[in-house]
Amino acid sequence: MRDIPAELTFKQRLNACASLIEERLSQWLALSENGAGVPSRLAEAMRHATLGGGKRLRPFLVLESARLCGLADDNAVNAAAALECVHCYSLVHDDLPAMDNDDMRRGRPTVHRAFDEATAILAGDSLLTLAFEIMADPATHPDARIRAELCLGLARAAGRAGMAGGQMLDLEAPGRTLREGDILRLQAMKTGALIGFGCEAGAILGSASHERRQALRRYGAALGQAFQLADDLLDVEGDAAALGKATAKDAEAGKATLVALIGVENARARLRQLEEDARAALAPFGKDAHILAEAASFVTTRSH
Amino acid sequence: MRDIPAELTFKQRLNACASLIEERLSQWLALSENGAGVPSRLAEAMRHATLGGGKRLRPFLVLESARLCGLADDNAVNAAAALECVHCYSLVHDDLPAMDNDDMRRGRPTVHRAFDEATAILAGDSLLTLAFEIMADPATHPDARIRAELCLGLARAAGRAGMAGGQMLDLEAPGRTLREGDILRLQAMKTGALIGFGCEAGAILGSASHERRQALRRYGAALGQAFQLADDLLDVEGDAAALGKATAKDAEAGKATLVALIGVENARARLRQLEEDARAALAPFGKDAHILAEAASFVTTRSH
């Protein structure tokens, strides 16, 4: 595998990363070799959940933060693919009838619609488990300390005090009065934790200095908040066709968002500030970080 | 924490291990400290799923195989607790309406009955994730190579080609004609993989020789088969009150078992052979392995 040339623009780099990730996920989820011994229905459901699109923002953050810390893409792509497995598992379970009850995802039937609920539960479980299998695999990094640290960081970001905990808070939100602090906490857990880990993973993989690791954490925290706020704004204003899913679902579901609380104009101003915060956090990397800086703009201005 | 005295009988040792595990799980699942930042409903569901009973056979196997490989209980109890988290997560998800649709477990309401389906899905997800958090935690073993190997082994045993894959095959079984090889494969994945990993985990923790590790693998493979066969026999012959759950559910659900295929008498003979195989595998450990040898008898003769 050749590295993606560094002189690409952000959009080119994002697309190139997406291709790399698609290819690597496809290898891990191959119906032979890596997938030997896996029941075919389960293997197909895992492929349905994982392959065929998505921006691949989280693995992009791993590859790009790793590049800033001196790693070639080839040495970060497994960790990036593992993180995407966690993201995809969370979508499969969040879409279930007992959760958000969504029929469509990225313009295709959700896993429990294309297969059935039991298969979707098991496909999600298996993707989550596969993420740790990949992280702990010697092919992901030759140094076991780094593999163990990646497993620990991923587990904390994905688990009860991270993404899964945030989803629990989200399910409890309808009918409750959430204050700004409550919403920020919910979003930091549900969306921020995994995005933040994606940025930090590059520093872990590259054994970066404390200063650089903290810088990537701060960048990730601002980016995560911006991502969620932009998503909430899209939910209010967006176009269903561009998103490939239903819009204004948050309001229908009675879910409290920051936009509903502080208004669209204030939310836009907050978003601009978060973009600035994200860019400012990248100072220790100088011009090398221009792609992550552009990623902050992309996240705040995306229309889908 | 003091070690459990080595001169205990098997039953005393099993009970003492169960207490150790209950205590350690309770610490990991504490509503404060370790559980800080966890939504309380999720934390309570995870405790409901994990605490308050069960034989704790899998963590017992970790502690006992670790002891054979030179480790004090205190240095194996985290890994044992992590394995139990995976077992408990699998029960929570298997009990869901879309899966086995069970209302009772260990004489108490299942998690989705005591809470709700969404909470049960998230509690299971969070327990699975917590298992890897514990395995990767430096407190579990000071050597990162061992932590990474534990994560890798656990992921392979629990995932698509292990326990989760076995559950998929089990769900597909009704209405299919399964031959003996199919049933053995299903059971090796669904039940055997986690039991086998429990036995091997002690060898990993203790950096045991190849010979000793292989011996524990062979023991685990025989024990896992025996465990499942005994379970199937109990399902046919057992007493609902002693089991704390419904019996003859396999037949009702149209699930193929080895007992249905080869008959009760042949199954009993097979069970005796598996017990002998398990005991024979322990030869490299001599008399030190008498507790695991008794465990093989316990598994083949248990009534609940």
* pLDDT single digits (tens) B153-200: 999 999 999 999 999 999 999 888 899 999 999 999 999 999 999 999
The predicted pLDDT at position B52 comes to: 82
* pLDDT single digits (tens) A107-158: 999 999 999 999 999 999 999 999 999 999 999 999 999 999 999 999 999 9
Please, are residues B199 and B79 in contact by the beta-carbon 8 Å criterion? Answer: no
Q: Lowest mean pLDDT: which of A21-35, B132-146, B206-220? A: A21-35
Would you list the domain boundaries of chain B? Answer: 10-301
* ipTM here: 0.94
Q: What's phi and psi for B99, nearest 5 deg?
A: -110, -110
CA distance B56 to chain A (A): 22
Which residues of A fall within a CB distance of 8 Å from B168? 39, 41-42, 119, 122
With cut-offs at 50, 70 and 90, classify the pLDDT of residue B8. confident
Please, are residues A231 and A259 in contact by the beta-carbon 8 Å criterion? Answer: no
Is 80 exceeded by the pLDDT of residue A195?
yes
Q: Say what the pTM is.
A: 0.94
CB A124 to CB B124 under 8 A? no
CA distance A88 to chain B (A): 13
* pLDDT single digits (tens) A26-42: 999 998 766 779 999 99
Is 90 exceeded by the pLDDT of residue B33?
no
User: Strand, coil or helix: what is B104?
Assistant: strand
Gap between the Cα atoms of B174 and A70, Å rounded? 53
Please, are residues A94 and A245 in contact by the beta-carbon 8 Å criterion? Answer: no
Which secondary structure element, helix H or strand E, spans residue A104, and what is its range?
Answer: strand A104-105
Given B38, B147, B169, which is nearest A148 (Cβ)?
B147
Please, are residues B271 and B233 in contact by the beta-carbon 8 Å criterion? Answer: yes
Nearest to B135 by CA among B146, B123, B120, B126: B146
- Tokens encoding B207: 């950096």
Q: What is the DSSP string of A44-90?
A: HHHHHHHSS----HHHHHHHHHHHHTT--GGGTHHHHHHHHHHHHHH
* Domain B10-301: CATH superfamily, name plus number: Farnesyl Diphosphate Synthase (1.10.600.10)
The per-residue pLDDT of chain B, averaged, comes to 92
> Residue A144's closest chain B neighbor by CA?
B145
Given B116, B144, B158, which is nearest A145 (Cβ)?
B144
Mutate to test the interface with A, among B29, B125, B134 (most CBs of A within 10 A): B125
How is residue A287 annotated by DSSP? G
CB A121 to CB B132 under 8 A? no
Please, are residues A99 and A171 in contact by the beta-carbon 8 Å criterion? Answer: yes
CB A125 to CB B128 under 8 A? yes
Please, are residues A226 and A218 in contact by the beta-carbon 8 Å criterion? Answer: no
Q: What's phi and psi for A185, nearest 5 deg?
A: -65, -45
The predicted pLDDT at position A8 comes to: 83
Given B98, B118, B124, which is nearest A118 (Cβ)?
B98
Which residues of B fall within a CB distance of 8 Å from A161? 35-38
Q: Lowest mean pLDDT: which of A7-21, A278-292, B247-261? A: B247-261
Gap between the Cα atoms of A158 and A95, Å rounded? 17
Pairing of strands A108-109, B104-105: unpaired
